[in-house]
Structure 1
Amino acid sequence: MGNMVVRNNFEWVYTDQPHSDRRKEILAKYPQIKNLMGPDPHFKWIVTFMVMVQILSCFIVRDLPWKWLLFCSYAFGGVINHSLTLAIHDISHNVAFGNKSARWNRFFGMFANLPIGVPYSTSFKKYHIDHHRYLGGDGLDVDIPTDFEGRFFCTPIRKVLWIVIQPLLYVLRPLYVNPKPITHLEIINALVQFSFDLIIYYLWGLKPVAYLIAGSCLSMGFHPISGHFIAEHYMFLKGYETYSYYGPLNLLTFNVGYHMEHHDFPSIPGSKLSLVRKIAPEYYDTLPYHTSWGRVLWDFIFCKELGPFSRVKRECELAKKD
């Protein structure tokens, strides 16, 4: 990738993101990839089953001692909740009911949100569009850390703290970087979510609610699955801003590891992203990729060259005016 300069320790580029050009090139060569686009008929049933499992778990953990409740939150419930956040990621691309039923996707996202404990799905959709459209865009892509994060979280201990508080940063960063008005769907999302929390509290007490929220916070912080937050776009090799992960944890995360393929073809469900690589291997096998999210976390913490500043950024002036 040419035309790069370092500014404020981010990697600033003055080229467009590579995904749209690669998408056009691949589709010209392999038009059959269009057949992979559209809703996944099995997806909504898998998500519904996961939500039901978490509701059943609320009943089971209602009398657990706190230490075992937190253990179950980290080792079991948090895995499901993190997976549900990635289901919400797919739902934001309308893979549950298709583009023609966008409103059904939004409400299904609220349903998938229930075990997470806090309203999330509608706000995520609002900002995730910008992440794809303006990847690395200064002031637009809220997935990019702030300058303060880059300057402060620069030692191994501070990087661990940064990873632990990732859920908090993902809530606060949009409010600072690119605040947007609250929509009526976000209000509905909050009302549905807090009503669910109150019902769980009324039925079984505080511990099940704590189980759900703790699972979400713990699994999105210092947890093996959370390695995908860093693996996806942190620049482990100079000039590469998106990376795929090809490993077993894709089975628990709706194939979010196929991230290069996802940004090339965001309308393809996670369940079919591996087929993109099989159809067009010459476009992906030559790119750097990860095989372990645990190794990603280890390298990020202990490698001096890696940190919150290890991101590609670009100006998107025309996008800002739009």
Structure 2
Amino acid sequence: MGARVSRTDFEWVYTEEPHASRRKIILEKYPEIKQLFGYDPLFKWIVTAMVLTQIAMMPIVQHMSWPVMLLVAYCFGGVINHSLMLAIHEIAHNLAFGHNRPMHNRIFGFFANLPIGIPMSISFKKYHLEHHRYQGDEVIDTDLPTLLEAKLFCTTGGKLVWLIFQPFFYAVRPLVVRPKDPTPLEFVNLIIQLFFDAIVVKLFGWKILAYMILGSLMAMGVHPVAGHFISEHYMFRKGFETYSYYGPLNWITFNVGYHNEHHDFPAVPGRRLPEVKRIAAEFYDDLPQHKSWSGVLYDFVTDPDIGPYARIKRKHHGLDS
């Protein structure tokens, strides 16, 4: 399984998360960044094109052998579905139609969710916004691995297994660490998704449902686009808890790689985050950054000093959202 990582506990700090204070400093110097706030009018058309592309693939994939289907799911369908998950991330911040039309955003989230095969758009939102507000909180921030995960998957082989099953941990961890009663919109999300999945099976067969769901799962595991899960907040440099990536995979992931910029300004849609970096370059250029998401995955597995323990955590003080 490989040598054990030298780290035996998370990195505990007693400072506030860094983004709120940096946001205030940047806006004092560059108030024009506020003009970038709002929603991206092109976003809904890009997402619609991706959903329709996946629907158009269904009669094509239907006639593929299972090995070919799995390859296409990994290399193509899963990439689109992962991009749709990141579209749901944008939608969680109301960046599809703006903050004054919350229900438009939620309904569009149901639509973006369809090719993914598993209902997630509403559940993601209720936990993700807490990740922003309480980054690193040992109880509230469910993006953090649990102590059990860190202990069980801290070897080279263990970390590889952990990456493969990362979708499972992302789905189950909130239910264990911070369970919440399901909301009515979560039931709506579930019903719409099950209805869509049933139609897909009726028209095209179970192989197409497998194409949708397995593509989603594979593209969240050991896959280049899934590198952002590790690159965003795992501590590759001591004391730094958020990292950006400025490479070409941003083109198909709504610029989620601009992650320092996103946490500093979550009201700025992904397409405008490069402009935030351009305006406030001196605040970002010298921060540690990643050059490759694939390289991040490789380093995560092979570097004995990096693993599930390599996260900055803060003690929970009873605050809540």
Partner residue, 1:258: 258
Conserved 8 A contact 1:261-1:276: yes
Q: Is the counterpart of residue 11 in structure 1 residue 11 in structure 2?
A: yes
Partner residue, 1:211: 211
SS in 2 for 1:100: coil
Partner residue, 1:163: 163
Q: Is the counterpart of residue 304 in structure 1 residue 308 in structure 2?
A: no
Kindly report which structure 2 residues correspond to 1:106-125, keeping only aligned pairs within 5 A, or say none: 106-125=106-125
Coordinate RMSD, CA, aligned: 1.2
The Cα shift of 1:8 comes to 5.9
Normalising by structure 2, we get a TM-score of 0.97
CA distance in 1, matches of 2:95, 2:133: 18
The Cα shift of 1:179 comes to 0.4
Q: State the AA in 1 paired with 2:66.
A: W
Kindly report which structure 2 residues correspond to 1:219-238, keeping only aligned pairs within 5 A, or say none: 219-238=219-238
Q: State the AA in 2 paired with 1:25.
A: I
Q: Is the counterpart of residue 98 in structure 1 residue 98 in structure 2?
A: yes
The C-alpha deviation readout for 1:189-229, integer Å capped at 9, x for no partner, is: 00000100000111111111110001000000110111100
Q: State the AA in 2 paired with 1:220.
A: M
Kindly report which structure 2 residues correspond to 1:188-203, keeping only aligned pairs within 5 A, or say none: 188-203=188-203
The Cα shift of 1:156 comes to 1.1
The C-alpha deviation readout for 1:155-202, integer Å capped at 9, x for no partner, is: 111111000000011111001110011000000000000100000111
Kindly report which structure 2 residues correspond to 1:171-190, keeping only aligned pairs within 5 A, or say none: 171-190=171-190
Structure 2: runs of 5 or more not aligned: 1-6
Q: Is the counterpart of residue 276 in structure 1 residue 276 in structure 2?
A: yes
The Cα shift of 1:36 comes to 0.4
The Cα shift of 1:317 comes to 1.2
Query: Any runs of at least 4 consecutive aligned residues in structure 1 with deviations exceeding 3 A, and if so which?
Result: none
Q: State the AA in 1 paired with 2:211.
A: Y
The Cα shift of 1:318 comes to 4.2
Q: Is the counterpart of residue 151 in structure 1 residue 151 in structure 2?
A: yes
The C-alpha deviation readout for 1:275-296, integer Å capped at 9, x for no partner, is: 0010010000010000100110
Kindly report which structure 2 residues correspond to 1:39-54, keeping only aligned pairs within 5 A, or say none: 39-54=39-54
Kindly report which structure 2 residues correspond to 1:60-79, keeping only aligned pairs within 5 A, or say none: 60-79=60-79
CA distance in 1, matches of 2:297, 2:230: 7
The C-alpha deviation readout for 1:6-65, integer Å capped at 9, x for no partner, is: x96100111100100000000010000000000100000000000000001112111211
Partner residue, 2:56: 56
Structure 1: runs of 5 or more not aligned: 1-6
Q: State the AA in 2 paired with 1:60.
A: I
Q: State the AA in 1 paired with 2:179.
A: P
Partner residue, 1:242: 242
The C-alpha deviation readout for 1:238-286, integer Å capped at 9, x for no partner, is: 0000000010100010000000000000010000000001001000001
SS in 1 for 2:313: strand
CA distance in 2, matches of 1:8, 1:48: 45
Partner residue, 1:4: none
CA distance in 1, matches of 2:313, 2:301: 21
The Cα shift of 1:316 comes to 3.5
Count of aligned residue pairs for this structure pair? 316
CA distance in 1, matches of 2:193, 2:136: 31
Conserved 8 A contact 1:227-1:293: yes
SS in 2 for 1:137: coil
The Cα shift of 1:100 comes to 0.3
Q: Is the counterpart of residue 81 in structure 1 residue 81 in structure 2?
A: yes
Partner residue, 1:33: 33
CA distance in 1, matches of 2:315, 2:189: 32
CA distance in 2, matches of 1:278, 1:299: 29
Conserved 8 A contact 1:8-1:147: no
CA distance in 2, matches of 1:319, 1:17: 14
CA distance in 1, matches of 2:63, 2:8: 51
Report % sequence identity: 56
Q: State the AA in 2 paired with 1:142.
A: T
Conserved 8 A contact 1:160-1:301: yes
Q: Is the counterpart of residue 140 in structure 1 residue 140 in structure 2?
A: yes
CA distance in 1, matches of 2:168, 2:218: 11
